[in-house]
Amino acid sequence: HEDQPLSGIAVHKITFGLNEKAYVKASPTVLGSNGQHSELVLVQYSSPKPSDDDWIGVFSPADFNASTCPGDNKMVQPPRLCSAPVKFQYANFSNPRYTNTGTGSLKLQLINQRSDFSFALFSGGLLNPKLVAISNKVAFENPNAPVYPRLALGKEWDEMTVTWTSGYGLNLAEPVVEWGVKGGERKLSPAGTLTFARNSMCGAPARTVGWRDPGYIHTAFLKELWPNSKYTYRVGHRLSNGALIWSKEYQFKSSPFPGQNSVQQVVIFGDMGKAEVDGSSEYNDFQRASLNTTKQLIKDLKKTDAVFHIGDICYANGYLSQWDQFIAQIEPIASTVPYMIASGNHERVWPNSGSFYEGLDSGGECGVPAETMFYVPAQNRAKVWYSSDYGMFRFCVADTEHDWREGTEQYNFIEHCLASVDRQKQPWLIFLAHRVLGYSSTYFYAEEGSFAEPMGRESLQKLWQKYKVDIAIYGHAHNYERTCPVYQSVCTSHEKSNYKAPLNGTIHIVAGGGGAGLAEFSDLQPNWSLFRDYDYGFLKLTAIDHSNLLFEYKKSSDGRVHDSFTISKDYRDILACAVDSCPATTLAS
Amino acid sequence: HEDQPLSGIAVHKITFGLNEKAYVKASPTVLGSNGQHSELVLVQYSSPKPSDDDWIGVFSPADFNASTCPGDNKMVQPPRLCSAPVKFQYANFSNPRYTNTGTGSLKLQLINQRSDFSFALFSGGLLNPKLVAISNKVAFENPNAPVYPRLALGKEWDEMTVTWTSGYGLNLAEPVVEWGVKGGERKLSPAGTLTFARNSMCGAPARTVGWRDPGYIHTAFLKELWPNSKYTYRVGHRLSNGALIWSKEYQFKSSPFPGQNSVQQVVIFGDMGKAEVDGSSEYNDFQRASLNTTKQLIKDLKKTDAVFHIGDICYANGYLSQWDQFIAQIEPIASTVPYMIASGNHERVWPNSGSFYEGLDSGGECGVPAETMFYVPAQNRAKVWYSSDYGMFRFCVADTEHDWREGTEQYNFIEHCLASVDRQKQPWLIFLAHRVLGYSSTYFYAEEGSFAEPMGRESLQKLWQKYKVDIAIYGHAHNYERTCPVYQSVCTSHEKSNYKAPLNGTIHIVAGGGGAGLAEFSDLQPNWSLFRDYDYGFLKLTAIDHSNLLFEYKKSSDGRVHDSFTISKDYRDILACAVDSCPATTLAS
């Protein structure tokens, strides 16, 4: 699995070698003066002994050296650097002649992350960094400002939740949302406030160099929404002196009534991650594609009702500053349509932390940042399985980072989610999970010989089949793959694009090409694998009406459809008896 | 178990021996003229043949003799007395020389219990009472007035319920609550009205001499409350002519958002019972201490967010008049902070009534008064198990008066309550039940050789251990006892006061010293018993933040802390694998 770019910096080996002849200057010193929450900063620097692996680290909070580092990570000798930078770039990035002239400049984009910034020039590369010079401090006009709202569907079909981040604790201000039908009268709703501390992290780097105060995360519950209506809202804080600090105004469209017959379009992908528009924090082209995916989603937003990002959200891997940058990257999307997440290995996996899989994938986060910064309508937000309705769709989202096998709490939930939907009103039943529980011919699944997570199909295919799940969608494997309608590894229909029910099986899709480094397929393409694409992309499901569903796979590079199929089915097809899914009948009459 | 003082009066053996030369006078005749619901009444009396076991019985309703007594309890011969007094006191209580002078007086406190009062002088003591004289009637200005509101947490974190009692049936008036943020605009909410009749009682004395019309019990549901906000409310009734009868104004603070990081303080105790401030209805110093406990709770109310009274509420034992007097006693507390109850033997136990235990402890009430006069967020209020959140706390309240063993409905509920809480947001998981299901060295448990209710630990310790319950708290044994963190009777930590997670076991507390007569310990103090106190007291749990909990035991006599410990833990301690509580993992990667 890819590392996090910041993990390439040997923070604990940073030594001090300040040099009066070197300097770093950053301007402007006050950012966001006309209310914006991101700004390009000009960083000018010079070093008497420049070398091509000199680099600039952006630190936030600005003063980053400390006599001792909190937490269990004892450093070599003081003064020590306890935190990784929030961003870095090589000194010669914009000036190839830096190594001769010794002077250079950079344009770096900073986002409002609740505290000030300083820029440090290092020599010795990322692995043996020596601090040469530190800049003046730079800060946003209001570091506490309410920022990066993200919507999520609530526990009722007519409830939308708004979650945002600020620097205002409850002792300072009361979080509120002002909202109402577009052009209608305004309502004021409260928000609950959560945060988490260093000791909620399960290990390094999240508990040590990766730690950064997450600020306060507020969630408001907008209830009793009228269906299909345009609402406007803004998030804010009422200070103790009565003053109100407001965000700009945002807009969303409320959900349709479950079963309503209107065109409903949902975008689904996994493993997007993040990248910096200014090209910084690059790491062998790590997640550049995430910017493409984000751009395409924004372009197509008018024709998108909801987004499901099924796991491996921002690949912070313990470097918490990246979470703020991720929610800033998706803000145009998430502030306008519900952004529903699922839990992935990079959110949850950590030894002895109750994660089903072993490994260091979450960098010590053990799920906490994802489970706090994004709302999901799960009963227990640390067990990220939930059910969600959107018009004619019923989504059953599973949590592959906890046990799903028969007899477990999650298995019972999944059966309940699949069983409790009225398929005449909500015909389109979609199963979502991060790791591939169904079918994938990605090399690492092929090498395991299971072409999916072991024990995935064994437990769940009974349920997919019994409840006639239309499509099961996974991430985790960074590519795109589509299967035939399949049950027990056998195709139940040889149609390729225009499916006519009954399908007698479920179509399984891998959509892990959101932006993280691609994963190869095995040369062997099993007979259930109809279409494979080693590229970045995302899915769009369109419920045309109760009988017709359009599935599209779009590439992130061009936003154009590169694979698609349709399913048309009548209600009786769902009700009818099919292999291993025959409803009980009686001889009595 | 102690009896109810009124049960000492042989009502069915009362004979009439009215004597013109004897008299009883009570004044004033109109009570509560400036809206108060309790008042001291001067009772003056004289008897030609005084004796030291003469006594005054307070009867309400005032006319208490009848040709026949309703219900199955056939009396000896008419005229009969069908109801016990609501209160009694010996004639010489304030006048030692009564037996010589034959005249005396008393100050008795009456509370508004929906009907008028009369005072009767008896000779022949409590066991062979002979009615000598009856006083004039005395009544509150408005016997139907809305009184004794008690708050309780609702089924949602942002819902507070208000329950109160009145004499207004739905034919007379519509119950309402006027409420709103302190200083904000008022809202009017409806209330549901409940009552119960004699035939809802399961046996004597509740169905016979103990019976008294409970009036009407109204519950309103104040929803979508802002977190941590001061609300003011008053309860009232809209008469058919439009007139509105209001209570005085009360105030409460709404709950924090589940997981919110603020100081949260909860008081917990069991077995309080009630006593009369005027010293009446005394029975070998039966529950005087309940007045101390009540006084300390009122004194500390500013630093109390909620109260859990875990069973054996007022020991009415079928003498229903005591329930009104109990809710009057706790009104200053319950009208200001949520007063959450659990079901105890004295509420529920009655032969052939579905109670798990055999016995006459509830005096024929079989749970009905407690389950009607107090709201709890249980799905079925006759099966008093429920889950409740308060900030960083999750409380799982069990019902020891119904079967809790594996496979039962209650067992499944308990597991669900323990399993469905996000322990990063709500780290403090508290299990509450009336009878000791865990550990107690009280003599009657020692003599049974189980040092707890038999079958208590066998079924539930698996759940306490699997879900890492921090503290389990019980009543029923009228004393205080604290165990080490324990599992299967073995201490899993030998720390005494400053626990550092993981504890690998649950700390069990007995807190049954709310006021009812104390119970001795066995001389044998098992090795899991760290601290025992044969005295009256109550607990205070303070969630300082997500990592630190303070536990305090305070004596009712002085309100000072006599035992305490702290628990500090990180989220990873909760997640980590411990004996019998290792989450499932997979070998796959």
| A544-566 per-position pLDDT tens digit | 999 999 999 999 999 999 999 99
Confidence band (pLDDT; 50, 70, 90) for B169?
very high
Q: Which pLDDT does position A64 carry in this prediction?
A: 80
By CA distance, what is A355's nearest residue in B? Answer: B585
Average pLDDT across chain A, whole number: 95
Residues of B in contact with A163 (CB under 8 A): none
CB contact under 8 A, B571 and A448: no
Helix axes A409-419, A456-466, angle to 10 degrees: 20
Confidence band (pLDDT; 50, 70, 90) for A282?
confident
**pLDDT exceeds cutoff 90 at B153:** yes
Give the nearest partner residue to B571 out of A174, A368, A409, using CB atoms.
Answer: A368
Residues of B in contact with A408 (CB under 8 A): 584
**pLDDT exceeds cutoff 70 at A73:** no
Residues of A in contact with B571 (CB under 8 A): 199-202, 366, 368
Query: Does A201 touch chain B if contact means CB atoms closer than 8 Å?
Result: yes
The fraction of chain A above a pLDDT of 70, given in percent, is 97
Query: Does A60 touch chain B if contact means CB atoms closer than 8 Å?
Result: no
B462 burial via Cβ count (<10 Å: 0-12, 13-18, 19+) = middle
CB contact under 8 A, B576 and A409: no
Q: Which pLDDT does position A12 carry in this prediction?
A: 86
Residues of A in contact with B583 (CB under 8 A): 354-356, 402-403
A527-542 as b/e, with b when 16 or more CB fall inside 10 Å? ebbbbbbebbbbbbbb
A111, A283 contact by CB (below 8 A): no
CB contact under 8 A, A190 and B229: yes
Interface test with B, best of A156, A172, A196, A240 (most B CBs within 10 A): A196
Tens-digit pLDDT profile for residues B366-387 = 999 999 999 999 999 999 999 9
Query: Does B588 touch chain A if contact means CB atoms closer than 8 Å?
Result: yes
CB contact under 8 A, B588 and A448: yes
**pLDDT exceeds cutoff 60 at A76:** no
Query: Does A381 touch chain B if contact means CB atoms closer than 8 Å?
Result: yes
Beta bridge partners, B131, equal B16, B122
The sign one gets for the Cα dihedral A314, A318, A322, A328 is positive
**pLDDT exceeds cutoff 80 at B557:** yes
Joined together, the tokens standing for residue B537 give 């007291």
B450, B492 contact by CB (below 8 A): no
Q: Is B328 helix (H, G, I), strand (E, B) or coil?
A: helix
Interface test with A, best of B413, B422, B500 (most A CBs within 10 A): B422
Residues of B in contact with A191 (CB under 8 A): 257
Confidence band (pLDDT; 50, 70, 90) for A69?
confident
CB contact under 8 A, B585 and A356: yes
**pLDDT exceeds cutoff 70 at B348:** yes
- At position B466, the amino acid (one-letter code) is K
CB contact under 8 A, B419 and A380: yes
Task: Give the ipTM.
Answer: 0.94
CB contact under 8 A, B261 and A195: yes
Q: Which pLDDT does position B539 carry in this prediction?
A: 98
Residues of A in contact with B586 (CB under 8 A): 356-358, 403, 454-455
Give the nearest partner residue to A354 out of B262, B422, B575, using CB atoms.
Answer: B575
Query: Does B79 touch chain A if contact means CB atoms closer than 8 Å?
Result: no
Cβ-based contacts under 8 A for chains A and B:
109
Nearest CA distance, B384 vs chain A (angstrom): 22
Cα angle value B549/B341/B246 (rounded, 5°): 110
B290, B314 contact by CB (below 8 A): no
Give the residue-averaged pLDDT of B554-571. 98
CB contact under 8 A, A402 and B258: no
Residues of B in contact with A197 (CB under 8 A): 545-547
Average pLDDT across chain B, whole number: 95
Give the nearest partner residue to B570 out of A189, A200, A371, using CB atoms.
Answer: A200
Q: Which pLDDT does position A294 carry in this prediction?
A: 98
Q: Which pLDDT does position B254 carry in this prediction?
A: 98
The sign one gets for the Cα dihedral B491, B495, B498, B501 is negative
Interface test with B, best of A353, A384, A445, A455 (most B CBs within 10 A): A353
Helix axes B456-466, B409-419, angle to 10 degrees: 20
Give the nearest partner residue to B424 out of A200, A356, A453, using CB atoms.
Answer: A200
Joined together, the tokens standing for residue B29 give 């005749």
By CA distance, what is B416's nearest residue in A? Answer: A409
Nearest CA distance, B224 vs chain A (angstrom): 9
Nearest CA distance, B589 vs chain A (angstrom): 6
Give the residue-averaged pLDDT of B33-43. 95
B206, B320 contact by CB (below 8 A): yes
Residues 208-227 of chain A whose Cβ lies under 8 A from any Cβ of chain B: 219, 223
Nearest CA distance, A166 vs chain B (angstrom): 15
**pLDDT exceeds cutoff 50 at B1:** no
> What gap in Å lies between CA A449 and CA A464, rounded to an integer?
22
Q: Which residue has the higher pLDDT, B490 or B73?
A: B490
pTM of the model: 0.95
Q: Which pLDDT does position A68 carry in this prediction?
A: 67
Give the residue-averaged pLDDT of A271-297. 89
Give the single-character DSSP code of B237. E
Residues of B in contact with A200 (CB under 8 A): 424, 546, 570-571
> What gap in Å lies between CA A11 and CA A20, rounded to an integer?
23
Q: Which pLDDT does position A1 carry in this prediction?
A: 39
Nearest CA distance, B31 vs chain A (angstrom): 44
Nearest CA distance, B362 vs chain A (angstrom): 37
Query: Does B262 touch chain A if contact means CB atoms closer than 8 Å?
Result: yes
Q: What strands, in cross-sheet order, belong to the sheet with A23-27?
A: A23-27, A38-46, A103-111
CB contact under 8 A, B425 and A170: no
Q: Which pLDDT does position B2 carry in this prediction?
A: 52
Q: Which helix (H) or strand (E) holds B80?
A: strand B80-81
By CA distance, what is A365's nearest residue in B? Answer: B572
Cα angle value B72/B74/B76 (rounded, 5°): 170
Give the nearest partner residue to B547 out of A197, A202, A381, using CB atoms.
Answer: A197
Residues constituting chain B = 589
Residues 423-482 of chain B whose Cβ lies under 8 A from any Cβ of chain A: 423-425
The CA-atom distances, in angstroms, between A420 and each of A426, A502, B19, B381 are 11, 20, 75, 27
A99 burial via Cβ count (<10 Å: 0-12, 13-18, 19+) = middle
Least-confidence region, from A400-414, B63-77, B85-99, B444-458: B63-77
Tens-digit pLDDT profile for residues B48-102 = 999 999 999 999 999 877 766 775 455 555 567 889 999 999 999 999 999 999 9
CB contact under 8 A, B588 and A454: yes
Give the residue-averaged pLDDT of A141-160. 98
Q: Which pLDDT does position B77 carry in this prediction?
A: 56
**pLDDT exceeds cutoff 70 at A262:** yes
- At position A82, the amino acid (one-letter code) is C
